[in-house]
């Protein structure tokens, strides 16, 4: 039963216990009408219809989602609202997500206005403190008031921002003018912008140094090869940094051409080792993303210590693909401590230390590294567990929740509002409030037992994405029943048995695709539990003999499962039973993994790590990890992720005939 139905039943039952059935029906109709007004207000907020919101707000007083309605109204006119009105809102809705959300919005305005007195009054009250731009304004204020040494923190925040936002750029400008931040930081910011195809980031960074350079950046972005040709005859002061940007831009589209340019004597002698190494990092990365065998040769021209963390990540991947274990070790050594602690790079560093020719001290260090991550929590954690000679099993369940723990979750106002919002169709808003209530309302977030209770509440309401995501946040305990639920078990097991699919694999895929949200819809139009695209659904329905199929049926449970599993079985057969490749094909279409498999025969973990698309790379690893854990639950027996991975390489001729009809 969906939560909306449960909620209606609760409202109806409560009313029946009160003034009788007629009153109950009237109250239910009133509640439904009020919910429609909330949805109307949410839509008006999206459209910026302030007049409509002003008319709706008085009708929503005392509604469970009144804080949202009040937030939408005030947020839409925050730049015109008086301080008194803002303070009244913050006081009236104290302790809510909406209070902290509005304070976040207001802090951004106060910082942009350089109203440091107002900013400093509100900033200590900001509970979330998860907005990088707000933190940058706070650093500006620290520097203004006490001359605090904030340059390092400003640089870190600025370089980490993907887009050209005002807060951290303003803080960087302040530190540049004060001489606390070196111009090199702005050039680094421009390099990252050029490398990630964000021209606005480039021009914003360079404008802080010289407006003329910002204008030249646009020319470079449009035609880097032409810019480099123009500069072969003369190298003006500071032009070499612009040349570096041109090389980066050229490498994005044509790494081989960029490599030829960088080999020219003029650039070899006039660009610094740091600049050349960064460009070689970009060239190597772009080649690695194209699965080019030339990648490692280009990487070797630069020095790891001058490369960006993203260059090092792709160097590890390219070295794994080439079987160059010493270079895996070198690249992970060059990573920062925090990056090196990522389970992926901890695992591959350990594997490099176990490569042939390493000594006993290396093997001991490898075992130590594997022990730091070994668990059932994820892909590399599971591989580490197996490399240490252990199997993947269902962990012991934590102690049952007590009545007080359950009541605390059930009576949490933020969780209640979140579930209500999700139930009436405001999923995005409900998810934000839920996450705030579990993660950010108190510094450090809820403790493990509180998280288990919140997850249990979501499970009971069949809000499976919040159930899973909340349970995954526990640190010292793991509850597999929460983390790996199996809704619609009879339907899934029956269907998989009919067509010869492993139900654990199907559950592993659904968990990653939709988190069991029946009406889930992706930004590209995939729908339902198994997130099937309309064209794929139509094609598959014909293939599996599903007569009279219409597109609106795709969100129906049994139809979605039938089509999704039918397509998955066709894909799996096309890839000769390879679970990693079938998962990649399900996510990215079969054509791409057909190309990605060309080259050397690789263990599938290395192949998966080299998938060029970040979404598909993450998807394959999570689906296989999920599958292994579901298999442990369903079978009650120890499991192996490595056995499910196998190896990946080119097709074996007629033994693996390609189904070219697959969409």
Q: Taking residues 19-34, report their average pLDDT.
A: 69
CA distance 461 to 2: 7
CA distance 28 to 11: 7
Q: Is 24 a residue whose pLDDT tops 60?
A: no
- What pLDDT score does 232 carry? 54
Q: Is 652 a residue whose pLDDT tops 90?
A: no
Q: In Å, what is the CA distance from 310 to each residue of 298, 313, 315, 371, 616?
A: 15, 5, 9, 26, 18
Residue pair 628/484 in contact by the 8 Å Cβ criterion: no
CA distance 367 to 312: 23
* Of 316 and 235, the one with more pLDDT: 316
**Angle between the N-to-C axes of helices 211-222 and 199-207, in degrees from 0 to 180, rounded to the nearest 10:** 160
Q: In Å, what is the CA distance from 95 to each residue of 67, 72, 73, 83, 135?
A: 11, 17, 19, 19, 21
The structure tokens listed for 522 are: 């992706």
Residue pair 479/397 in contact by the 8 Å Cβ criterion: yes
Query: Residues for the chain: how many in total?
Result: 663
Residue pair 499/565 in contact by the 8 Å Cβ criterion: yes
- What pLDDT score does 2 carry? 41
Residue pair 351/384 in contact by the 8 Å Cβ criterion: no
In this structure, how many other beta carbons lie within 10 angstroms of the beta carbon of residue 32?
12
Distance of CA 412 to the CA centre of its chain: 27
- What pLDDT score does 653 carry? 67
Greatest C-alpha distance within the chain? 92
Q: Annotate 509-524 with b (16+ C-beta within 10 A) or e (fewer).
A: bbbbbbbbbbebeeee
- What pLDDT score does 7 carry? 42
Instruction: Give ∠ CA 610-613-616 in degrees, rounded to 5.
Output: 90
123 DSSP 8-state letter: G
The structure tokens listed for 221 are: 């972005």
Nearest CA among 593, 562, 596 for reference residue 659: 593
Torsion of CA 460, 461, 462, 468, to 10 degrees: -70
φ, ψ (nearest 5 deg) of residue 648: -135, 135
Q: Is residue 548 left, alpha or beta, with left meaning phi > 0 and alpha meaning psi from -120 to 50? A: left
Q: Please write the tens of the pLDDT for every residue from 183-233.
A: 999 999 999 999 999 999 999 999 999 999 999 999 999 999 988 886 555
- What pLDDT score does 424 carry? 96
* Of 104 and 663, the one with more pLDDT: 104
Q: Please write the tens of the pLDDT for every residue from 109-150.
A: 999 999 999 999 999 999 999 999 999 999 999 999 989 999
CA distance 155 to 158: 5
CA distance 511 to 464: 9
pTM for the complete prediction?
A: 0.93
Least confident of 11-15, 170-174, 284-288, 589-593: 11-15
**Average pLDDT score over the chain:** 93
Nearest CA among 295, 331, 330, 286 for reference residue 312: 331
Residue pair 382/508 in contact by the 8 Å Cβ criterion: no
List of domains in the chain: 3-125 (no CATH), 403-477 (no CATH), 489-656 (1.10.530.10)
Q: Is 19 a residue whose pLDDT tops 50?
A: no
How far the first Cα of the chain sits from its last, in Å, is 34
């999570």: which residue's tokens? 622
- What pLDDT score does 268 carry? 84
DSSP-derived 3-state class of residue 456: helix
In this structure, how many other beta carbons lie within 10 angstroms of the beta carbon of residue 351?
22
Confidence of residue 660 (pLDDT cuts 50, 70, 90): confident
């Amino acid at each position: 039963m969906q939560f909306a139905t449960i909620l209606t039943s609760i409202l109806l039952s409560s009313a029946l216990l009160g003034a009788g059935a007629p009153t109950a029906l009237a109250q239910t109709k009133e509640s439904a009408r009020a919910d429609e007004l909330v949805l109307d207000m949410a839509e008006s907020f999206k459209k910026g219809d302030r007049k409509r919101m002003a008319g709706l707000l008085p009708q929503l007083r005392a509604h469970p989602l009144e804080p949202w309605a009040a937030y939408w109204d005030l947020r839409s006119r925050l730049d015109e609202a008086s301080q008194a009105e803002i303070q009244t809102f913050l006081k009236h809705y104290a302790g809510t997500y909406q209070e902290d959300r509005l304070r976040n919005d207001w802090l951004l305005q106060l910082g942009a206005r350089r109203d440091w007195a107002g900013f400093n009054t509100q900033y200590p009250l900001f509970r979330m403190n998860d907005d990088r731009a707000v933190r940058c304004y706070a650093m500006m204020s620290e520097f203004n008031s006490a001359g605090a040494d904030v340059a390092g923190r400003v640089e870190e925040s600025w370089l980490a921002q993907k887009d050209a936002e005002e807060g951290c750029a303003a803080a960087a400008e302040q530190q540049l003018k004060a001489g606390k931040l070196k111009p090199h930081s702005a050039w680094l910011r421009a390099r990252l912008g050029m490398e990630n195809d964000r021209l606005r980031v480039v021009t914003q960074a360079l404008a802080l140094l010289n407006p003329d350079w910002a204008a030249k950046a646009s020319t470079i972005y449009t035609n880097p090869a032409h810019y480099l040709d123009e500069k072969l005859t003369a190298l003006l002061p500071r032009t070499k940094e612009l040349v570096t940007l041109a090389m980066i831009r050229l490498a994005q589209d044509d790494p081989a051409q960029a490599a030829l340019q960088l080999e020219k004597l003029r650039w070899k002698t006039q660009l610094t080792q740091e600049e050349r190494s960064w460009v070689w990092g970009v060239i190597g990365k772009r080649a690695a993303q194209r699965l080019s065998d030339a990648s490692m040769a280009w990487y070797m021209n630069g020095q790891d210590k001058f490369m960006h963390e993203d260059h090092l990540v792709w160097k590890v991947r390219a070295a794994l693909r080439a079987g160059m274990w010493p270079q895996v070790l070198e690249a992970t050594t060059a990573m920062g401590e925090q990056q090196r602690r990522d389970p992926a790079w901890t695992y591959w560093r350990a594997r490099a230390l176990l490569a042939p020719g390493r000594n006993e001290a290396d093997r001991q260090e490898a075992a130590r590294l594997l022990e730091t991550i070994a668990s059932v929590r994820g892909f590399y954690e599971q591989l580490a567990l197996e490399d240490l000679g252990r199997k993947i099993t269902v962990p012991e369940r934590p102690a049952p929740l007590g009545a007080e723990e359950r009541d605390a979750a059930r009576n949490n106002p933020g969780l209640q509002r979140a579930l209500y919002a999700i139930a009436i169709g405001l999923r995005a808003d409900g998810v934000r409030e839920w996450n705030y209530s579990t993660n950010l309302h108190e510094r450090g977030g809820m403790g493990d037992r509180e998280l288990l209770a919140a997850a249990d509440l979501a499970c009971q309401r069949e809000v499976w994405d919040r159930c899973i995501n909340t349970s995954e946040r526990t640190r010292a305990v793991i509850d597999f029943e929460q983390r790996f639920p199996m809704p619609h078990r009879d339907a899934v097991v029956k269907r998989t048995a009919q067509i010869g699919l492993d139900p654990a694999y199907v559950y592993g895929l659904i968990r990653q695709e939709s988190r069991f949200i029946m009406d889930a819809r992706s930004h590209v139009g995939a729908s339902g539990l198994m997130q099937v695209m309309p064209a794929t659904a139509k094609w598959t329905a014909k293939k599996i003999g599903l007569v009279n199929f219409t597109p609106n049926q795709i969100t129906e449970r049994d139809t979605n499962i039938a089509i999704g599993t039918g397509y998955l079985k066709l894909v799996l057969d096309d890839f000769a039973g390879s679970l990693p490749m079938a998962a990649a094909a399900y996510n990215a279409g079969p054509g791409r993994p057909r190309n990605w498999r060309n080259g050397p025969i690789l263990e599938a973990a290395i192949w998966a790590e080299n998938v060029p698309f970040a979404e598909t790379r993450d998807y394959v690893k999570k689906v296989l990890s999920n599958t292994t854990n579901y298999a442990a639950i369903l079978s009650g027996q120890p499991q192996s992720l490595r056995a499910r991975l196998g190896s990946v390489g080119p097709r074996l001729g007629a033994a693996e005939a390609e189904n070219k009809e697959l969409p």
